[in-house]
Amino acid sequence: MGPRVFQKIYEVEKISRSSSSEAVETLPLPAQVPLSSKESQETMQRWLQDDSQLVLLTWDGLLPEAANPRQASLLSSSAESINPPYEVQAAEVEEPAAPEAEAAGAASGAAAASGQSGSFVPCPVTKPFAFEGKACVAVRSLPFLAARFRLFDPSRMQAGPCTRPVVSRYEELAPCGAAMLALPLPQRSDAPPRSLGILLQISFAGASGQRSLTARLAGLMQLRFRRIGCVGATVSWEELPAEALFREGPKVVREEDGLELGNVYEFQVRVGDVCRMGPWSKSSLPVRFALSPPVPCEGGGLRILEKGDRAEVSWAPFQPDAASQAQLPNLARLPIEYTLSVFADDEGDARDTAETRRETRLVSSLSTTSTVCSVSNLRPLSAYSASLSARWSRFGNVESGSKAARLFAAFATTGLKGGW
């Protein structure tokens, strides 16, 4: 059989069970009102000071019936309203049903869609009030930390669309771990360290040790740090900008973030979103952001070959101490700068003070990255002493001079002149 051809005989208009004028109007979608600014938090301070579950909601067409939150809380919920009698309903967001749901959201916020919701229940709300240029209602004392919200019209038994998961109060996270870190990491590059940082281990566990649902629903994470051990000084917290893309696990804070070598720091972390941030965690254990200076190898010492008015001093290369080497494996690749100081052992004039005699004894101070150094212009038939210290050429010596490892040696020049 060949193709069939149809000929239009007549056509009717599309019909529906109700005309467009009788179509049911969709209820508006609630939206959360931010509480992230200091000004908004000060306005709502009375409701926030007890860390209670609080959400501010608004929707299209909502009109204010009170001038501020305090006035709204005093108005009776049964008082006549100028707004449609919509009921605010909430359904608790529960833990994901399977671990694969959490793994699907590698970045923060992606796990929000995986939370399962329970049944919707009515929420007690305040009268609509004016807040930062818009009308909103406050949903207080919720029985759960995260929920989806919707509007419900009892007269038509109609429910509107529901929101994405909304967190009414973020939980306090467990303290983060902290340790020194040298970059690049040794497993990624053979190059010597170019920068130092503090490696933090961020956990989505709450302060009680249980997994935090609100942390996995959070859209922002923020860190702060401060120096400790500053005698007689009050040091304020330094807050880093909140990050929208973050993961549970390692996070590096670097020198460019404000850390200074030679100090001891503590860190805190919190999560939240553009509407509200959670409480800061307890402080991490103190971590020293400093490098111990390189130390002489075991059995190493100064070797001095002298002849007349000159002396050649050599030594074995210094190395990281055992603790630094274990913590920062690529530290041994970092160049080392040595300082050789030579002192004359003459006591000076008896009329000189001890300070004057100490100043006149230093006859030479040389810096080098080599392990051989030549000292000239020495007096024949004289006694001398040599002192050698070392520092990391990139990051400097963060230890005080008295704590830096040194090598010492004494030698005397002969009365002979001439070359080597």
Q: Give the per-residue pLDDT at 51.
A: 59
> By C-alpha distance, which of 252, 284, 258 is closest to 270?
284
pLDDT digits (tens, 9 = 90+) for 334-383: 888 999 999 987 655 545 555 544 455 788 899 999 999 999 888 888 88
What superfamily does domain 303-412 belong to in CATH?
Immunoglobulins (2.60.40.10)
Helix (H, G, I), strand (E, B) or coil at 407: strand
Q: How confident is the model at residue 396 (pLDDT cuts 50, 70, 90)?
A: low
> Which residues neighbour 107 within 8 Å (Cβ) at sequence distance 6 or greater?
245, 246, 247
Q: Model-level pTM?
A: 0.72
pLDDT digits (tens, 9 = 90+) for 303-332: 999 877 889 999 999 988 888 888 777 788
Q: Give the per-residue pLDDT at 16.
A: 52
Domain spanning 177-289: which CATH class is it, in words? mainly beta
Domain with CATH 2.60.40.10 in the chain: 303-412
For the chain, count helices (H), then strands (E).
Answer: 7, 24
- In this predicted structure, the answer to whether residue 126 has a pLDDT above a threshold of 70 is yes
pLDDT digits (tens, 9 = 90+) for 45-68: 666 665 578 899 999 999 999 888
Q: 3-7, 238-242, 283-287 — which is least confidently predicted?
A: 3-7
Residue 384 phi/psi, 5-degree rounding, is -135, 160
- In this predicted structure, the answer to whether residue 255 has a pLDDT above a threshold of 70 is yes
Q: Give the per-residue pLDDT at 402.
A: 46
pLDDT digits (tens, 9 = 90+) for 85-105: 899 999 999 875 444 444 443
Radius of gyration of the CA atoms of the chain, in A: 36
Q: How confident is the model at residue 264 (pLDDT cuts 50, 70, 90)?
A: very high
Tokens of 291: 């490098």
Q: Give the per-residue pLDDT at 174.
A: 92
Helix (H, G, I), strand (E, B) or coil at 257: helix
Tokens of 268: 């805190």
Computed over every residue of the chain, the mean pLDDT equals: 80
CA–centroid distance for 138 within its chain: 32
Given a contact cutoff of 8 angstroms between Cβ atoms, the answer to whether 380 and 416 are in contact is yes
Give the separation between CA 220 and CA 241, rounded to whole angstroms: 10
Q: Give the per-residue pLDDT at 394.
A: 75
Instruction: Give first-to-last CA distance, the chain, whole Å.
Output: 113
Does residue 373 or residue 40 have the better pLDDT?
A: 373
